[in-house]
Structure 1
Amino acid sequence: MEICDVVIIGSGPAGLFTAINCSGDDRKVVILEKNKTAGRKLLLSGAGQCNLTHDGSIKEFLNHYGENGRFLRHVLYNFNNDDLLDFFRKRGLDFISNENGKIFPETLKAFDILNILLKECEKRRVDIRYNKNVKGVIYDKEERKFKIKTVEKVYKSNFLVIATGGKSYGATGSTGDGYRFANSLGHTIEPLAPSLTPLFIKKYPFKELSGISFENVFISLWRNNRKIRETVGDVLLTHRNISGPGILNFSRYVVAGDVIKINFVRTENEEDFRSEFVRKLQSNGKIMIKTFLKEYLLPKRFVEKILKIAGIEEEKCSQLSKEKRNELIKMLVSFPMEVEKLGDYHIAMATRGGVSLKEVNHKTMESKILKRLYFAGEVLDVDGDTGGYNLQAAFSMGYAAGRDIAKNL
């Protein structure tokens, strides 16, 4: 048995940053990592370039975590995106942002982010133990200590931090262990599902249009013939599914059997579009319908596919029957696609659900059920949009947890 002040399970951004912020010369802080290296999922972020955070205001950040954004309000304001960038800049790494506000290290290498975190852990004498697969955790009420069991030994600790991530990208080590540990310590686990994931469509019609994308189109979600949510975002057609930031961000609300409708012509009023569309058809009667649709700046291959689906061949505008015209308008302003399934955890970027936020102090990340137990990162029931929001949340939660532990050590 090994005695510790703090044991942290998981060496992702949340775990590493918790350790950095609670460490000290007279403290024994140990990170237990099941993999042979740290931060494996971090190294995959942003296609290896690490989209660390976003350049928006923190007030605006809160709109990017679904219905649970309120939980993060305190930690995001207490350690915001500027604070995060300053941490790395002080250690020699600068940043760039793209036209969408995503922020990356100027080297475009996720390893440079991880390397700074590991060097800081080393500097602060944080002991990272690799290849340590935690089998279970218990709380000894008599000793008032946590006991963390691995194959080799038992670690006894005053404080325990569960920062194991979710279930997405399981090959990186995120296999849902944290939910089991939390539940064994009395915590409720909200239903889990993949998030930030593509949508697979029944009888998917766009297999041959892989790579075609649409910017800032209207996307609506329908369930039982009723519209329950809508958004605006970018959509990407792949050979297997629909993806792109707009779809990925929307996926947290979707279940199999829902219908996604996409407005490819970005019109806000369907009736106004219909009236204008009919008027233009009538005034361009001699023009081929394929040529007429160029006005809407749609990809050529997409137009050809839409016309085929609508049953329209080589026809002039004046030859278009009312039935075909209505079908074409429907294809353009509310193309319906029934969701067969969501992309599974192996392709999902995040996990929806997790440790119930009702049971965690939103200011400190400490459990409301068990003193000196903390959570940080994706193991909690909060997931963000693409664009650096999840990493920012992980660092902000790690900062809050680490500082509170340091105060109470």
Structure 2
Amino acid sequence: MNEYKNIIIGAGAAGLFLSALLNNSDTLVLEKNQYPGKKLNITGKGRCNITNACSKEDLFGEIFTNQKFLYSAINDFDNNRTVDFFNNRNLKTKVERGGRIFPLSDRARDVTDCLYKNNACTFKFNERVKNIEKSEEKFIILTDDNKYVCNNLVVATGGLSYPTTGSTGDGYKFLESFGHTIIEPRPALVGIETDSKYKEVFMGISLKNIEFKLIRNKKEIKSEFGEALFTHYGLSGPTILRLSPFIKKGDILSLDLKPALTDEKLNMRIQRDLDEAGNKMIKNSLNHLLLSNMIAPILELSDIDMEKNSNIINKEERQRLSNIIKNMHFKVVARRPLDEAIITDGGVKVSEINPKNMESKLVDRLFVIGEVLDVAANTGGYNLQIAFSTAYKAYLYLED
């Protein structure tokens, strides 16, 4: 009989990390893909943003779903310990803008190799788990071709984002069968569909040093400064991804193209550019202030004749132009679907999991780690840190 002390379902970030910590032949890792770390290998555009160099306080601040549940895990295994873990295994790291930490090689596959190669655990690939039962003190796991038995079972199957990598929600079904509540999975860190008539005109434009404000019922909910991208469906890029978990249909995304300038200073800048342009048409006078392919739509939104001479633009027109540059509205239609999301928000209800060791409160020796939990954080390495920290908490129990 295929019997082990521990079985981990899933060789993604959390499952691989736990296996590397355990590093023993009495642990089996079951993975339905042909190789480990399929999603891990494409994170960070193939570079793998392992964690972030921020303070522990800031790290907690980047967690937007069930932050309190993760206090114990992150306090026990924080970002500094993550870096030490990889460095001690000869994977050198570097810090980039925003505190993002990457392998020095810029290869996500090196992170997977660091966790998988020389790992004493037993790995079985192309092993899709079909059913799990518990008989007395043992778990019985049935795959397409085999039957396995274990004392301790760890579910590390991920969420529903990037389904082509194997994240198809299998863990939710297994855990529901044991009585666990699943908070409805929803896309987080995802692009936003808008109803702007300028989508085709703006498509492909990248913006830097801008600010987006999320407006609901005329009140500002949240804002983000940084970069954004216009797409065929609406908006994406870092600022939008970070706002996306909080966005609802009907909200307004207000774009400030010049957040470093006050209204007064922007007005003065516009006046100066128009004065220098003289009798040139206004559509040819704003290239130093705005991206060329945004000028015509912005003038249209400002209700200014594009062929009007710059030197006869009046105060009211300048003010309308300034208002649009500082406050261009995009109405939200929807978030993009889960299969386009970087992570899944939602998952196993955390009140049913012991935060001190990631063990189920409903089923003894059943452990849940990583993205399958109802936890989520912003981009920047924080979600992988959650995977590593929750894996470590389970490890502390399983190593005994």
Question: Same fold judged by TM-score > 0.5?
Answer: yes
User: What amino acid does structure 2 have at the position aligned with 1:137?
Assistant: I
Distance 1:399 1:285, change over 3 A: closer
Query: Is 1:139 paired with 2:134?
Result: yes
Q: 1:119 to 1:311 in 2, by over 3 A?
A: same
Greater percentage in strand: 2
- Other structure's SS at 1:369 match: coil
Q: Which amino acid aligns with 1:391?
A: L
Tell me the TM-score normalised to structure 2 length: 0.90
Q: Deviations over 1:298-349 (max 9, x none)?
A: 3232233311333321234564467655543332222111122222222211
User: In the alignment, what sits opposite 1:255?
Assistant: 248
Letter in 2 for 1:302: M
Choose from 354, 369, 380 the match for 1:376.
369
The aligned counterpart of 2:59 is 61
Aligned pair partner of 2:122 in 111, 127, 147: 127
Matched, 1:307 2:327: no
Aligned counterpart, 1:8: 8
Q: Closer, same or farther in 2 for the Cα pair 1:265/1:290, shift >3 Å?
A: farther
Q: Give me the whole-angstrom Cα distance separating, in 1, the residues matched to 2:274 and 2:104.
A: 54
Q: In 2, are the aligned partners of 1:64 and 1:384 still within 8 Å (CA)?
A: yes
Query: What is the alpha-carbon distance in structure 2 between the residues aligned to residue 321 and residue 172 of structure 1?
Result: 57
- State how far apart, in whole Å, the 2-side matches of 1:67 and 1:355 are: 12
Q: Is the 8 A contact 1:354 1:381 kept in 2?
A: yes
Q: Does 1:168 align with 2:161?
A: yes
Task: Give 1:57-96 correspondences, 5 Å limit.
Answer: 57-96=55-94
Q: Contact 1:23–1:406 (CA<8 Å) still a contact in 2? A: no
TM-score w.r.t. the length of structure 1 is 0.88
Contact (CA 8 Å) 1:51, 1:104: kept in 2 or not?
Answer: yes
1:45 maps to amino acid: T
State, as a whole percentage, how many aligned pairs show the same letter.
36
CA distance in 2, matches of 1:154, 1:2: 7
Mapped to 1, the partners of 2:63 and 2:298 lie a distance apart of 34
DSSP 3-state at the match of 1:404: helix
SS in 1 for 2:67: helix
The question of 1:347 aligning with 2:340 is answered yes
Work out which of the residue numbers 214, 218, 222 in structure 2 matches 1:229: 222
Displacement of 1:44 in angstroms is: 0.4
Among 195, 202, 208, the alignment partner of 2:195 is 202
Which residue identity is paired with 2:354? N
Which amino acid letter does the alignment assign opposite residue 73 of structure 1?
Y
Q: Say which SS state the counterpart of residue 91 (structure 2) adopts.
A: coil
2:267–2:322 CA contact under 8 A, matched in 1: no
Q: State the alpha-carbon separation in 2 of the partners of residues 127 and 373 from structure 1.
A: 19
For 1:9-408, list aligned pairs within 5 A: 9-24=9-24, 28-121=26-119, 124=120, 126-140=121-135, 143-266=136-259, 273=263, 275-277=264-266, 286=275, 287=277, 289-290=282-283, 293=286, 297-312=289-304, 313-316=306-309, 319-320=312-313, 324-325=317-318, 327-407=320-400
1:229 aligned partner, one-letter code: K
Q: List alignment gaps of at least 5 residues for structure 2.
A: none
Q: Count residues in correspondence.
A: 395
Secondary structure of 2:371's aligned partner:
coil
Residue type at the aligned position of 1:307: L
* Cα offset, 1:131, TM superposition: 0.9
